[in-house]
A and B are shown apart, each in its own frame.
Chain A
Amino acid sequence: MKTTETTAPVPAESGRPVTKAGVPDEMPSREKKEGTVLNVFSHGILVIWAFMVVMPLLWAVMTSFKDDSSIFGSPWSLPDELHFSNWSRAWTEANMSDYFLNTILVVGGSLIGTLVLGSMAAYVLARFEFPGNRFIYFLFIGGMSFPIMLALVPLFYVVNNMGLLNTIHGLILVYIAYSLPFTVFFLTAFFRTLPTSVAEAAFVDGASHSRTFFQIMLPMAKPGLISVGIFNFLGQWNQYMLPTVLNTDPDKRVLTQGLVQLAVSQGYKGDWSGLFAGLVMAMLPVLAAYVVFQRQVVQGLTAGALK
């Protein structure tokens, strides 16, 4: 089959209707059979991978309702009865409630700070010409590709010297600083796409620059703020490296840290069922949020990479 023969009957602008009718006749039957085999094959692989993704999570949920002896004796059996006490024990005795509270405080503060400061910087960088604009922009962008670990050693001492080690507000400030590169990158691109005319009209009507920003531009940027907000929320909620280094006070631990510490200490105490309950407890809020806001989460997380 030569290319010219097959493409010839398809007019350039009305590809779809013609191909719809034309394709079944021109497709050899071999193609159809191959399609069926491939279909079974592709479904098979997709189902297997879905199973492999879901299985560990279901296993964790199941295990969180078992008692210690059956966790070790028969890891795959269903719980003999639902041991809800694991959950209450994890919540109170294993300090999960404290870890949750700390995480909510840290992430809440950092998220608000990141969005406010990030959008302020991005707005100025996107809409105003001034000497050093490019330099500051690339200074922010550069932070996306550097290994954080390199900065962590001196950072520890910077934070220590300021008396911010093992404090919630210190952690918040550091989270904000490390979230700024991507946030500024994303929001600068976003502010450039917004129409200038509205902001100019407001300014002509006598609104100050900051009033224009907070009352006109920020509401217009809501979709962008939501995307980048979700990205930062997940990143900050799941942060492990920064708190591990900067936050060693047992009372100030965030969830991820607390769970890891718990796993280490359970090696001596042996309350594995309580630990599993804690693990599932920490997983459920983000999984639930993901299922509900699925579309926004995916958009938020993939937005930067697709641009």
Chain B
Amino acid sequence: MQHGKYRFIVGFLALPVGLYALFVVWPFIQSIYYSFTDWTGLSPEFKMVGFDNYERMLDDDIFWKSLQHSLLLALLLPLVTIGFALFLAFMINVGGRRRKGGPVVIGVRGSSFYKIVYFFPQVLSIAIVALLFAFAYNPDSGAINSVLRGIGLDSVQPLWLGDPNLALWAVMAVIVWSTVGFFVVLFSAGMASIPADLYEAALLDGAGRATTFFRVTLPLLWDTVQSGWVYMGILALGAESFAVVHIMTTGPGGPDYSTTVMVLYVYQKAFRDGQAAYATTIGVALLIVTLAFAAVVMRLGRRERLEF
């Protein structure tokens, strides 16, 4: 199979690699370079300024706020989303009532129905989801406060997105709402591949549901949980949180920068304030946080691989 092999390889790779290098790799390399300049992005002229941008960043209160919010999102969102999804997936797949003579471990009735419904938000654009919830959170006429009034809680009418103490939590709830279903389906698929014999053996040994979950299900699912954790963390640091914060919170960035996250701050510095070089500096910080996050999860999550 040697004849014309290299011509073929080059012919097939040129276009995809070329596009990828031009629009993805090259801008990445450039952005690190630009972070050492005073480029505004508006004019083609710029000069090297060394570490000035980095020094400025360390003195920037808003940067620290956005870093804090991003870290909170990266730590809390995977914890809540994956924890809740594991719980739901376990309920769906193992929570069924055992009929006499039937298999020991069965899913609840309608398990496939639940999986279909829970997955709904995943196919919707996060931008559309964010818009929808921005209406629901509206303090005067939104659906949520109107429910609170309906059940007699007239005194509890939070401003939600307008309250600096609540805005970030309100935004996080939306991300959880839209991503839990994906993980329920993912973990369900993982649980379905665990042999029923293992559950049977555990139940025979007198293990309760909780013990079964922590001793059988979770260890065997660990690889999936871990990759889900990294995936969710990257979402929370990047695209997902950008759309939600950009669309939902006033400013945008929330009252008193209460919801500003790093990716939003990069966007604002570059495209609103005309400080392209400084924006790429914050972008480099975001890259470091993302890589550190992935490394920590991989490191902490490393344990003996279980074969089954």
Interface residues of A, Cβ cutoff 8 Å to B: 1, 3, 6-7, 10, 15-16, 19-24, 26-27, 31, 34-36, 38-39, 42-43, 45-46, 49-50, 52-54, 56-57, 59-60, 63, 71-76, 117-118, 120-121, 123-125, 128, 130, 136, 139-140, 143, 145-159, 173-174, 176-178, 180-181, 184, 200, 203, 208-210, 213, 234, 237-238, 240-241, 244-245, 255-257, 259-260, 263, 276, 279, 282-283, 286-287, 289-291, 294, 297-298, 301-302, 305-306
Contact of B227 among A75, A238, A305 (CB under 8 A): A305
Question: In the complex, A297→B96 CA distance in Å?
Answer: 26
Contact of A177 among B6, B19, B104, B228 (CB under 8 A): B19
B117 x A53 contact (CB < 8 A) = yes
Question: In the complex, A36→B227 CA distance in Å?
Answer: 34
Question: In the complex, A124→B143 CA distance in Å?
Answer: 53
Q: Which residue, A10, A24, A154, has most C-beta atoms of chain B within 10 A?
A: A154
Contact of B242 among A49, A153, A155, A241 (CB under 8 A): A241
- Nearest-neighbor residue (CB-CB) of B231 within chain A: A305
B263 x A147 contact (CB < 8 A) = yes
Interface residues of B toward A: which range? 35 or more
Interface positions, chain B 86-128, Cβ under 8 Å from A, are 87-88, 91-92, 95-98, 100-104, 108, 114-128
B118 x A49 contact (CB < 8 A) = yes
| B34: Cβ under 8 A from any A Cβ | yes
> Chain A nearest CB: distance from B197 CB in Å?
5
Can you pick out 5 interface pairs between chain A and chain B where the beta carbons lie within 8 Å of each other? Answer: A149-B238, A154-B26, A159-B23, A244-B246, A306-B186
Interface residues of B, Cβ cutoff 8 Å to A: 1, 4-6, 8-9, 11-13, 15-17, 19-20, 22-28, 30-31, 34, 41, 87-88, 91-92, 95-98, 100-104, 108, 114-128, 131-136, 140-143, 146-147, 150, 177, 180-182, 185-186, 189-190, 196-197, 200-201, 203-206, 208-209, 224, 227-228, 231, 234, 237-239, 242-243, 246-247, 263, 266-267, 270-271, 276, 279-280, 283-284, 286-287, 290-291, 294
